[in-house]
Structure 1
Amino acid sequence: MEKSVAPDNNNLAHSYNHIGGVYMNIREYSKALSSHEKALKFYEKNLPPNHPDLTTCYNNIGSVFYSMGQYSKARSSYEKALEILETANPSNHNDLATCYNNIGAMYYHTGNYSEALLFYEKALKMIEKFLPPNHNNLAHSYNNIGGVYMNMREYSKALLFHEKALNIYENTLPANHPDLATCYNNIGSMCYSMGEYSKALSFCEKALEIREKTLPPNHPSSASPVVPQNTNKNNTYLLAASWTIAVTVAALVFMPKFRELNCTSAYEGGMKAVIWTDVLQALVMLVGLLSAIIQGLIVLGGFGPTFSIASKGGRIQFDNISIDPRVRHTVWSLLIGSTFNGLSIYGFNQTQIQRYMCVRTTRGAAQALFINAVGSAFIILSSCLIGIIIYAYYADCDPYTAKFISAIDQIFPYFVMEVFSNIPGLPGVFLACIFSGSLSTISSGLNSLAAVIIEDVYKGLMRGQLSDERQGFISKIFSIILGAVVMLLTYVVSHLEPILNAATSLFGALQGPIMGVFFLGFFFPRANHRGCLVGFVSGVALPLWMLVGSQITKNQRKSERLPLFTTNCALPINETITFSSPVRSDPLLDLYSVSYLWYSPIAVSTVLLVGLIVSYLTRPLKPHAVDPKLIIPIDDVFCCYLPKSVRHWLRCGVDHENYLNERVCTEFIE
């Protein structure tokens, strides 16, 4: 057809549009976009600028971009469609109402509910004027306005509009239509928020009944209605009573035994408590992880279907070898960045060093480290598998996009509460898993920080010998103070991006410079204290600047997230478009877009570069003044196969040979 049809024949453009629609339905979005863009080129060449076919094409392209998660491009296309409608066809009220509705949806999803209400009401006025009073589009509009009022917590107004929508649906739709289920759920949610629990339960049961008839048994929407299932106040009293019993048993039965073992807390038992609580918490974490994996695979039908869904969605990638540091996850960023982060944890972190010092021999510490590596690898691989399982489970109904959850970090608890909802006790095991991981990390950190403050600060200020009893008391005081500081910092963390990214970014920005100082001292014997200080400050400043800049400009940066879908979700109807407001581009956007995994390597490199330059400009140390025990000779570690003369030059004048000979003789005598 392409060869036989003239270039100015719009039938070819129509064919491209139809093909694009087919690709859109089967989720091959790149092919759909290519087809719609080909149609657009024909239309722009052969049609006047205000032709309605142009509007259709812009809308199609916008829908594809929206499905691909490229919201700024989707916005541009929809705005072009709206501009044509407003200038060329002001009487086409149905299309204008749709455009107003989509703009209202944009404001709704970005949390600007007052503007969303304004545009939804514009759409409603047109629909009420030109459509019959029982038209489904009118019900859709009522639902949208009700959703806005719900988020504005004006529940009585929200209930009024949802009841108007329900009245239309019940008169025009079959009894098992999904839109009826959505409306029942909306009304149930309003009643629940207003404290009318029995009424809320009635509507939610109606919604669930429809979903069980029309959706697969393992579909997320039929697993849990929007309104919590425990809507009866008596359940709250039972929950409070059971909690009281559990606390009483723990206090009278378990706590005395833990007290005898000195493992109640870092405050009570010090490092011994930290180690034993870490062991117990690790066991709880493993139980929680394995439970989630096993139940998720059972629901999805095994490894085959799970990995098939994830692969089709582009979630399994092993071949991204891009060297662009702005790409979030590549082979190189994961290999190099994660290596630096791991070395920071196990090589230079105070909490780990304290654990090593608790082992009797260096060999024993090394063995413990290798055993830990196996356990850590298992937990990391299990976490990756859980991520694949969660994606496969929600492939057609993403809770975050559908606004069932307000933050990405909530997806795992949401998943567990769904798949374990019919298994008593297991959701509690999962919650214990989360708290165990948190408490393990916090207890170790508090104990280490308290020890560092006492050794490096308190003893220097309070000259004189401290008794063990007094030192233990002061350590407990510092643990309490530091714990309070950690609690206050949770407010700051709540405003950062997803917690894993924020934690890794902060860790790389703060721990990387410490590792850089150790590298500077271990491998470069001529580095002096001035170089270390200036290098450390520079190594902290640069990645922290990048981190703060990335948080400020996160709405300007191109989103690399793969598309998520809500095809089979029971959503408020006709809320379709999400895109951000135009923002002024920052000239340092490329710097702020660097992947968080590169923060630690950047910090280490900055410390080494600045530290060496400053050291050589401010009287570097003399080789004979350096104790060989404090230096790791680069030649013996990385260049052992080079000629002896070259290795001697790499030692920077430090007499390692005599030191090694003396060490061998000493070990032989012993």
Structure 2
Amino acid sequence: MTLANNNFAVADWIIFAGSLFLSGCIGIYHAISGGKQRTTKDFLMGNRKLKTLPVAVSILVSFLSAILILGAPAEMYTKGTQYYMNVFGQMAAVVLGTILFVPLFYPLKLTSMFEYVELRFKSRATRLTATARAVTADELIYTGVASFAPSTALQAVSGFPEWASFLLIGCVCTFYTFMGGLKAVVWVDAFQSIIMFGSLLAIIIKATVEVGGFGNVWELNDDWGRIDFWNFDVDPTIRHTFWALTLGGMVNWIGTFGASQQSMQRFCALPSLRQAKIAVLLNCVGVSVMVTCACAAGISVFAYYVMKGCDPYTNKDIKNTNQIIPNFVMEKLNFPGIPGLFIAGLFSGALSTVSSNLSSLVATAWEDVIKPHVHHKSDFVQTWITKCLVLVFGAIGVGVAFIVKTLGGTVLQVSLSFMGASGGALNGFIVLGAFFPCCNWIGAIVGPIVSYAVMMWIGIAKYSVIGVEEKLDFPTQNCPVKNTSTSLFTTQITPYPMTANTNMITTVNTHVSASPDELSGLDRLYSLSYLWYATLGLIISVVIGLIVSFITGPTKPKDLDPAYLIPWCDRLCCYLPSSFRSYCYCGVDHENQEPVLAIRYGNSVEDKEGNEPQVFVLSKDNNINNQHQLVDVKHNKPEKGFLVH
């Protein structure tokens, strides 16, 4: 029995279509309720009155998409349990993102993360550079790439063509984002997370029951050499080690949860800083649950095929290891409605990722590029411009999906490597601004650009290095005799850090040639594990950025507002002497210049039309008991107003 021979039943199509229909209904509901998306504030930021739990879930599923449902189980199936250690790197990233970045961005009440770059460096060129790099290199490409996992799976189990899936994902995402804005995206994400979790849970339960309990699952994986968590080798060319998965993974993901447009846009849409911190921190729970379930599905399905005695990939029942989970679903969960639930889970993951990217693209393009030219227009006109941007980027996303499809599998992996390699460069804009007061706008442009160029070079060259032989065996004793020849294959994970530090797992054929010890010179550099890409990229960004800043004239501490810097010693090393902490801040007095947030619009929080309040900070020499001198954060202009508590 092969995967292609299985077809959807009527019940499967009903469940699948029902999930898409409900997603659209959520968009319609938010289009006709509340503020009815009449203002850009409501459309792009949910009027900054969203709920904590849905926002937390939305942040989670924006990055843990359909690729997780197919990719993580395939990784565990083919390479063993070492990959699971990455969950601890992700959890550490969530904690650090909550401590460091949420208190930086939230008080500024930003819509686009790159607005921070302009405020910090007082340079629009820096902001536009960061915007262009993120939009073109990450969000637009990944909007198309994210459609592949569910499209190929649906085609395999039902014959539904890939091109129709691209159109379906693009149209559904565009529809509910156009209708309901950020509110719809967040609530649809929350709804879709239930489907994603349910589909994984069904696989785990069925596979475990077939094997005779989770104890047998663990024992069978151990017998076949799959249980391995503690590879402490420090060689950075080894694909997965404890250090690469935890430390490298932490750097990969910290920008995703704390300093990406998708995450920042959501936690800044909450009513208070406390709720923003809680929403991001809850992702520790979400990450641990979802990744654990995905990994458990992989080892459970492997145990089932051990009991069966025939690996479907070696037996050529499937084309690549990403189809292992769909193959199991059609083989053992082929009850009316269950395959439909599984495909709905895959599509839910894709919809959550694509809609998140779509919402982020619109917010970024509006705030960074278009708004300065149409600020004199009415809010009604501005809102319709943002809605038209949804249609434009939705159409482009579908187009990118078709383009990437025509490029073929190898080029697809290279495209994903480019996005993974760009993570360090993107994080470099924020890290240089938030942690290094001496960095100027020239260094903030040159550092990330050099980092991006170098990491792209390494990413391209990586495919010139011949692969290393895999040592794990696969069950073939009960396979038909004509198909018992064993194929050598490697499963390569390519990271997507920006917006999204998402892992794409794909299978490629390679030739066995060299071991890591035999590599030398540039080949060793090209063999660097993908988990260290973001770390190396960030180091290059910071080092080059600081060198250029010192050559061109570093920024003076007196010219900086502490609101744009992170007092990292106070938050991470508060036990250190204050003199040492002051030295680390390069002359910026965080203790005495810490701004007090005030919101003012005339003499009230909002005007009668519901326009968003301007954000100000109290200047350091003012008394906070009466009327105060306020400083406009965005335009650095003094304003008279009242402190609003």
1:540 paired residue number: 452
Match for 2:326: what amino acid? Answer: P
Residues 116-515 of structure 1: matches in 2 within 5 Å? 224=1, 228=5, 259-262=28-31, 265-395=176-306, 396-421=309-334, 423-460=335-372, 462-490=373-401, 491-492=403-404, 495-496=408-409, 505-515=417-427
Report the Cα distance in structure 1 between the residues aligned to 2:267 and 2:28, rounded to whole angstroms.
Answer: 25
Q: 1:529 and 1:457 mapped to 2: Cα distance? A: 19
* Equivalent position of 1:601 in the other structure: 535
Number of corresponding residues: 434
Q: Tell me, what secondary structure is at the counterpart of 2:236?
A: coil
Match of residue 627, structure 1, among 528, 545, 561: 561
Instruction: Please tell me the residue identity of whatever aligns with 1:442.
Output: V
Give ranges in structure 2 of 5+ residues lacking alignment. Answer: 33-174, 489-508, 597-617, 627-644
User: Following the alignment from structure 2 to structure 1, what is the Cα–Cα distance between the partners of residues 399 and 418?
Assistant: 16
Q: Which residue does 1:220 correspond to in 2? A: none
Please list the CA deviations of residues 222-247 of structure 1 after superposition, one character each: whole Å capped at 9, or x if unmatched: xx3577256xxxxx9x86x9959996
The verdict on how the C-alpha distance between 1:362 and 1:498 changes in structure 2, with shifts beyond 3 A counting, is farther
1:394 Cα deviation (Å)?
2.3
1:531 is aligned to 443
CA–CA separation in structure 1 for the residues paired with 2:510 and 2:272? 58
* Partners of 1:576 and 1:248 in 2: CA distance: 41
Q: Rate the CA distance shift 1:227–1:286 in 2: closer, same or farther, 3 A.
A: closer
Paired residue type of 2:274: R
Q: How far apart, CA to CA, are the structure 2 residues paired with 1:359 and 1:378?
A: 24
The residue that corresponds to 1:640 in the other structure is: 574
Task: Out of 630-639 and 351-360, give the one that drifted further.
Answer: 630-639
* CA shift in 2, pair 1:275/1:400, >3 Å: same
Q: Structure 1 residue aligned with 2:552, among 618, 622, 635?
A: 618
Specify whether residues 561 and 452 from structure 1 end up closer, same or farther in structure 2 by C-alpha distance, changes over 3 A only.
farther
CA distance in 1, matches of 2:208, 2:187: 32
Return the alpha-carbon distance in structure 2 between the equivalents of residues 431 and 469 of structure 1. Answer: 39
Change in 2 beyond 3 A, CA 1:292/1:583 = closer
Structure 1 residue aligned with 2:88: none
Aligned to 1:154: none
Once residues 589 and 370 of structure 1 are traced to their aligned partners in structure 2, the CA distance between those partners, rounded to angstroms, is 40
Q: Deviations over 1:100-150 (max 9, x none)?
A: xxxxxxxxxxxxxxxxxxxxxxxxxxxxxxxxxxxxxxxxxxxxxxxxxxx
Cα distance in 1 for residues equivalent to 2:552 and 2:16: 64
Residue 576 of structure 1: how far off its partner (Å): 5.8
CA deviations 1:282-316 (Å, max 9, x no partner) are 11111111111111111111111111111112211
- Per-residue deviation, 1:249: 12
| Structure 1 stretch displaced more, 400-409 or 281-290 | 400-409
Amino acid corresponding to residue 569 of structure 1 in structure 2: C
Which whole-Å CA distance do the structure 1 matches of 2:228 and 2:534 have between them?
24
Q: Look up the match of 1:179.
A: none
Tell me, in whole angstroms, the C-alpha distance in 2 between the residues paired with 1:362 and 1:582.
Answer: 53
Out of 519, 523, 526, the residue aligned to residue 589 of structure 1 is: 523
- Structure 1 residues 506, 295: CA separation in 2 closer, same or farther (over 3 Å shift)? farther
653-662 or 604-613, which deviates more: 653-662
What amino acid sits opposite 2:341 in the alignment?
A: V
Q: 1 or 2, which has the higher helix percentage?
A: 1
How much does 1:323 deviate? 0.5
Instruction: Name the residue aligned to 1:562.
Output: 472
Q: Say if 1:627 and 1:323 are closer, same or farther in 2 by CA, change over 3 A.
A: same
- Residue 529 of structure 1 aligns with an amino acid whose one-letter code is W
When residues 434 and 358 of structure 1 are mapped into structure 2, their CA distance, relative to the original with a 3 A threshold, is same
1:405 CA displacement: 1.1
Give TM-score scaled by structure 2 length: 0.61
**In structure 2, the residue corresponding to 1:569 is in which secondary structure?**
coil
Measured after TM superposition, the shift of residue 609 of structure 1 is 0.8
Tell me the distance in 2 between the aligned counterparts of 1:623 and 1:260.
49
- Mean Cα displacement is larger for which, 368-377 or 451-460? 368-377
With over 3 angstroms needed to count, the CA separation of the structure-2 counterparts of 1:331 and 1:667, relative to structure 1, is: farther
Q: Which has the higher strand share?
A: 2
Whether contact under 8 Å (2:24, 2:176) holds in the other structure is no
Q: Distance in 1 between matches of 2:558 and 2:484?
A: 77
Q: In structure 1, what residue type is equivalent to 2:318?
A: I
User: Is the contact between residue 505 and residue 599 of structure 1 (CA under 8 Å) also seen in structure 2?
Assistant: no
Amino acid at match of 2:593: Y
How many Å separate the matches in 2 of 1:328 and 1:643?
40
Preserved contact between residue 421 and residue 534 of structure 2 (Cα < 8 Å)? yes
CA displacement at 1:505 relative to structure 2: 4.6
| Bigger Rg, structure 1 or 2 | 1
Q: Give the letter aligned to residue 361 of structure 1.
A: S
Cα distance change on mapping 1:261 and 1:410 into 2, 3 Å:
same
Q: Alpha-carbon deviations, 1:426-450, whole Å to 9, x = none?
A: 1110000000011001101101111
Partners of 2:199 and 2:184 in 1: how far apart? 22
Gaps (5+ residues) in structure 1? 1-223, 231-235
Relative to structure 1, is the Cα distance of residues 477 and 322 closer, same or farther in structure 2, using a 3 angstrom cutoff? same
TM-score (norm 1): 0.59
- Is residue 262–residue 272 contact of structure 1 (8 Å, CA) maintained in 2? no
Q: Distance in 1 between matches of 2:219 and 2:237?
A: 29
Whether the 8 Å contact between 2:448 and 2:541 is mirrored in structure 1 is: yes
Q: Structure 1 residues 574-583 or 290-299, which shifts more?
A: 574-583
Alpha-carbon distance change, 320 to 497 in structure 1, aligned in 2, over 3 angstroms: farther
The one-letter amino acid paired with 1:621 is: T
Separation of aligned partners in 2, 1:560 and 1:576: 12
Summarize deviations over 1:22-77 as a string: whole Å, max 9, x none: xxxxxxxxxxxxxxxxxxxxxxxxxxxxxxxxxxxxxxxxxxxxxxxxxxxxxxxx
1:650 to 559, 584, 590: 584
Identity %: 35
User: Separation in 1 of the partners of 2:318 and 2:327?
Assistant: 8
Matched residue of 1:328: which SS? coil
Shift of 1:582: 8.8
**Higher relative contact order structure (alpha carbons within 8 Å, sequence separation ≥ 6):** 2
CA RMSD of aligned residues (A): 3.5
